[in-house]
C-alpha cells in the first residue's frame, strides 16, 4: 500500500478512478439521501393526486375551522419545526463529541415528535366525531377522507418511525455504539419528515379552511 497503485496511468485514489467517493460522504449518508429522494417522490405523487381529486370534484369538503383545527395544526407545525432545531443542535453537539448533550437533544427531538403525533391523533378524533372517516364524509365525498387520512396517516407513520429511530439512536450513541455520522444520518431522516409536513400542512389544511365563520 506504500506505493501509489495506478490503473492505466491513473492513480486509484482519484475520485474518477474508483479510489474515492465522488460525493465525499460516507455510504450511510448517501443511502439516506437516496431514500429521501424516493420518499419525496412518494409524497409528491400523493399530494399531486390529492390536488387532482380536489380540482376534479365538486363540493370538495373544507372542514377546517380557524379555531380549533388550524390553530392546532399550526402549533403542530411549530412543534415539528422546533424538533428540527433541537435535532440540528444535537448533530452539532455530536460533531463536537459532547455525548451527554447529544443524547439530551435527541430525546428532546423525539419528545417533539411524540407531541406532534398525540396532537395529530386528537385532531383525527375530532374529525371522526364530525363524521369524517377514511371511507366517508358528511358531504358525500369519500375521496376526501381517503386522501386526507392516507396522506396524513403516512406522514404520521414516518414521524412514529422517526421517534423510535431517535430513541434507539439516543440510547446507542449514549453507550458509544454509534458515531456522530450515524447521528447525522438520523438527523437527515428527521429533517425530511419535517420537510414533508411543510407541504402537507399548507396543501391539505390551509387550502381547506372552512369558508363559514
Partner 1 sequence: MSAHEGSEVEAHAVGSTRLFVTVWVWLAVITFIEVFLAYERLRPDLMLTLLVVLSLVKAALIVSYFMHLKYEKISLALLLIPTTIFCICMIIIFFMPDGLRLMQMRMGH
Where on the chain is the footprint of partner 1 (CB under 8 A)?
Answer: 22-25, 30, 33, 36-37, 40-41, 44-45, 48-49, 51-52, 55-56, 58, 66, 70, 74, 77-78, 81-82, 84-85, 87-89, 92, 95, 184, 187-188, 191-192, 194-195, 198-199, 201-203, 205-207, 209, 211
**SS3 call for 208:** helix
Nearer to partner 1, 48 or 125 (CB): 48
Q: What is the DSSP letter of 70?
A: I
- Distance, in Å, from the CA atom of 67 to the CA atom of 45, rounded to the nearest integer, reads 30
CB of 158 to partner 1, least distance (A): 15
Report the chain's C-alpha Rg in angstroms: 22
Residue 182, burial from CB neighbour count under 10 angstroms (0-12, 13-18, 19+): middle
Nearer to partner 1, 6 or 78 (CB): 78
Helix residue ranges per DSSP H, the chain: 27-56, 71-95, 99-129, 142-175, 180-200
Cell numbers at 53, concatenated: 381529486
Nearer to partner 1, 171 or 195 (CB): 195
Nearer to partner 1, 171 or 203 (CB): 203
Alpha carbon of 146 to those of 46, 136, 150, 153: distances in Å? 11, 8, 6, 10
CB of 16 to partner 1, least distance (A): 11
CB of 13 to partner 1, least distance (A): 16
Nearer to partner 1, 30 or 124 (CB): 30
CB of 176 to partner 1, least distance (A): 21
Nearer to partner 1, 23 or 128 (CB): 23
CB of 152 to partner 1, least distance (A): 16
- Distance, in Å, from the CA atom of 61 to the CA atom of 123, rounded to the nearest integer, reads 16
Contact criterion met (CB below 8 Å) for 32 and 188: yes
CB of 4 to partner 1, least distance (A): 23
Amino acid at each position: 500500500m506504500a506505493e501509489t497503485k495506478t490503473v492505466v496511468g491513473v492513480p486509484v485514489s482519484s475520485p474518477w478512478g474508483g479510489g474515492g467517493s465522488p460525493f465525499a460522504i460516507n455510504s450511510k449518508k448517501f443511502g439516506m439521501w437516496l431514500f429521501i429522494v424516493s420518499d419525496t417522490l412518494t409524497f409528491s405523487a400523493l399530494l399531486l393526486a390529492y390536488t387532482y381529486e380536489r380540482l376534479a370534484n365538486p363540493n370538495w369538503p373544507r372542514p377546517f375551522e380557524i379555531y380549533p383545527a388550524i390553530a392546532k395544526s399550526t402549533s403542530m407545525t411549530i412543534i415539528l419545526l422546533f424538533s428540527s432545531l433541537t435535532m440540528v443542535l444535537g448533530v452539532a453537539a455530536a460533531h463536537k463529541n459532547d455525548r451527554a448533550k447529544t443524547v439530551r437533544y435527541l430525546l428532546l427531538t423525539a419528545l417533539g415528535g411524540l407531541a406532534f403525533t398525540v396532537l395529530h391523533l386528537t385532531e383525527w378524533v375530532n374529525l371522526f366525531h364530525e363524521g369524517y372517516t377514511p371511507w366517508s364524509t358528511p358531504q358525500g365525498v369519500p375521496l376526501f377522507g381517503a386522501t386526507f387520512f392516507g396522506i396524513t396517516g403516512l406522514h404520521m407513520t414516518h414521524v412514529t418511525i422517526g421517534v423510535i429511530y431517535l430513541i434507539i439512536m439516543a440510547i446507542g450513541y449514549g453507550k458509544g455504539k454509534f458515531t456522530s455520522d450515524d447521528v447525522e444520518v438520523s438527523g437527515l431522516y428527521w429533517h425530511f419528515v419535517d420537510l414533508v409536513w411543510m407541504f402537507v400542512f399548507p396543501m391539505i389544511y390551509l387550502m381547506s379552511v372552512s369558508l363559514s365563520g
